[in-house]
A and B are shown apart, each in its own frame.
Chain A
């Protein structure tokens, strides 16, 4: 196999796939990238057996063929090459010769046959989603994924296809983020699946603002076809807990906040929230919120935030990091904070179907 390509194209192609490369050393083939040259394209594939990504780049293919090369090493070499024109030539023993300007590299690969093939998705149920909507949805929910491995069903985002709606849910037991995307699909395609964190992270990197993504669900697997690239992943097997239970039914008080102003205030005040208690307090009074934090033996911070508020006067404490996470990831200018009392969960909402439930911290008297 032999092809020549520009440095930019090759780098771009490798960048699509190189994050997936396995760090496990038990199977050396998993740290390699599969290169397949045919027509005027070279396909690149990596997998760690849980998540696999396949991308491609344009190249002048002189001789078709396939091989696998160490992904990280190849990427590092290509990044440092001096000239824009690169020629790659692979001999029958899977040894790659890379030439660019005055540089010459020779790296040893492994045969194509050893590379585990990506699963096939025949007869899978497919749904098409605008890429922008899915990217937006994942951004607004994925930060709430649990990292606690004992609750493995929570180590991913729930994709719930029901009643012409895709609901994305993530929770770690202290907070929950949920978002609806309107979609049209036949009833037979209704399903609840859990996409693991790694796939969600990769997917967010690959999704763009244009075009659609075709989502195919097979048995225990999912594929996201983004036209040029394809991501396949194992699903987390298990039942996602009944998240609806978490959402408070009614709210007593609602306050409208400017997202960025609120976020900035929180960020400043949280500088004085201690690692230990790690809570900041919101004191609601008429048309004002006092945001305070104090750590014994360190100091305290206070910031007043003028708002429109006519409800009861009370205080509630939250983990600042948990309160800032959604504010950082939302894009809307205005957010609504619904509260019941100091012991009940707060709910953050926006104009579109999204909500974020957050448990308050106990206020020590």
Chain B
């Protein structure tokens, strides 16, 4: 790595020298040391912070030009002070008035990590499938020509399906293409907190200025604005200012705008103004692709049947899928044991159970209960009601109530067109019997766990 950095720095120096005067080079750039280089960023160690201040203020354009020339593309430039001064600064920061510190902390953070965007979240690392095609295409279109195509872009979808990934990808795409553009990425919660802070210290003007100057405003989890009336009003004006100024706005939420509780109509209608794109849970092929890509990035080597197993069993959530992959991979590398199906199942017990919980169907329950009590499946839906059939049927109804999201009516329908009262009665009865007889409780929990496996 060190050698690579030295070489890179030499290359960069050669490109930089014609861009700045000899004195400037000697004074400001000869003291730099390249300590880390990635595809996205370069980190330089500076003798002390005046180097950073002065280079950032005066020589950044020349520096970036040299980077493009030497490395073929722009990089984010970070500076770090030597360890000694760093810790001194940390100590100093402790003493600074609280507000000032929070403020400056937040700002330095955004400055160095590119506005809090995770460099991993780019369009390249996003796996496109039929479930997210539209959202991806719309995001890319927005990133390529902000405020020209879809404004605002409203992305919604469940937990862990890539809303944040897409938003951050837009932010980074725009920022890398044009360094001068003001990209702001934040969660609606942060927006609300800053708004409250601004009211408290009566610097609303500054707050407004901050947001209304953005060229690209990305707000994550906008649903949290629901019920916050003043924040909504403030956001409404921010939205209008940006929209009228032809600035791009991208919003994400876990549900469609019209379903966000306590959100003013004028906001809802504005959110639906541009393009609304939904993210759906990925299909099994997409899940495979995601796993493969993730494994490549993390440099994990696993058998195809492991991928297949994971892709088949974990359906709802990409984040969970990646977590499971990490868990399996780290187990494999730590223990060195072979990954059999049983090992993986044991390893991912909790995840798989969670997954199963949401995917049990009434049919499965009926089958399993019928098999357990040795009655015919047809008896589950028949009108006959001797005790040896009626009780298993009631247990099945109870389990359907507990394990599926079906309503009383739907359950009754699935059990041969019974009405919801019957189902309710069955649930009550089973609960009562479970309470009274341990053996019944055990039987039911056995069926329950066998269903969820």
Contact = CB atoms under 8 A, between A and B. Distances in A.
A211 to B, nearest CB: 32
Contact of B53 (A50, A154, A341, A344): A154
Contacts of A245: 27, 50-51, 54
B131 interface: no
Contacts of A344: 21, 23-24
Given A149-B107, A174-B58, A248-B23, A26 B200 contact: yes
Given A150-B111, A359-B57, A25 B202 contact: yes
Contacts of A172: 57
Contacts of B49: 153, 239, 241
B95 A220 contact: yes
A152 B20 CA distance: 28
Interface stretch (A91-99, A230-238, A267-275): A230-238
A243 interface: yes
A351 interface: no
Contacts of B24: 343-344
Contact of B96 (A26, A238, A359): A238
A168 to B, nearest CB: 17
A242 B97 contact: no
A234 B97 contact: yes
Interface residues of A, number: 34
B51 A149 contact: no
A149 B97 CA distance: 13
A23 interface: yes
B104 interface: yes
Interface string B35-60: 00000000000001111011011100
A343 B93 contact: no
Interface in A103-122: none
A196 B214 CA distance: 29
A187 interface: no
B50 A246 contact: yes
A109 to B, nearest CB: 22
A50 B61 CA distance: 37
B88 interface: yes
Contacts of B50: 241-243, 245-246
A130 interface: no
Contacts of B96: 152, 236-238
A84 B88 CA distance: 56
Contacts of A25: 200, 202
A241 B48 contact: yes
Contacts of A49: 97
Interface string A141-178: 00000000111111000000000000000011110000
Main secondary structure of the interface of A (DSSP, over half): loop
B51 A173 contact: no
B85 interface: yes
A228 interface: no
Given A26-B200, A362-B61, A151 B103 contact: no
A238 B97 CA distance: 12
Given A23-B202, A50-B97, A151-B53, A341 B21 contact: yes
A25 B58 CA distance: 39
A359 B104 contact: no
A245 B95 CA distance: 27
Contacts of A171: 53
Contacts of A220: 95
A340 interface: yes
A25 B202 CA distance: 8
Contacts, number: 75
B201 interface: yes
B98 to A, nearest CB: 11
A173 B56 contact: yes
B334 interface: no
B176 to A, nearest CB: 22
B92 A239 contact: yes
Contacts of B269: none
B404 to A, nearest CB: 52
Contacts of B48: 239, 241-242
Contacts of A234: 97
Given A24-B202, A234-B97, A359-B58, A239 B88 contact: yes
Nearest to B112: A150
Contacts of B54: 173, 245-246
Interface string B154-168: 000000000000000
Contacts of B113: none
Interface string B2-31: 000000000000000000110110010000
Interface in B47-100: 48-51, 53-54, 56-58, 61, 85, 88-89, 92-93, 95-97, 100
Contacts of B200: 25-26
Contacts of B21: 340-341, 343-344
Contact of B104 (A23, A150, A174, A362): A150
A150 B48 CA distance: 16
B23 A237 contact: no
Contacts of A150: 104, 107-108, 111
Nearest to A25: B202
Interface in A38-72: 49-50
A134 B358 CA distance: 75
A114 B58 CA distance: 48
B201 A24 contact: yes
Contacts of A246: 50, 54
Most A-side CB within 10 Å, residue of B48, B51, B96: B96
A220 B92 CA distance: 10
Interface of A: 23-26, 49-50, 149-154, 171-174, 220, 234, 236-239, 241-243, 245-246, 248, 340-341, 343-344, 359, 362
List the 9 shortest-distance A-B pairs measured between CB atoms, nearest first.
A241-B50, A173-B57, A343-B21, A150-B107, A237-B92, A173-B53, A237-B95, A238-B92, A359-B58
Given A25-B200, A239-B85, 8 more contacts: A238-B96, A241-B53, A243-B50, A246-B54, A248-B23, A340-B23, A344-B24, A362-B61
24 contacts: A24-B202, A25-B200, A25-B202, A26-B201, A149-B104, A150-B107, A150-B111, A152-B96, A152-B100, A172-B57, A173-B53, A234-B97, A237-B95, A238-B92, A239-B48, A239-B85, A239-B88, A239-B89, A239-B92, A242-B50, A245-B27, A246-B50, A343-B21, A344-B21
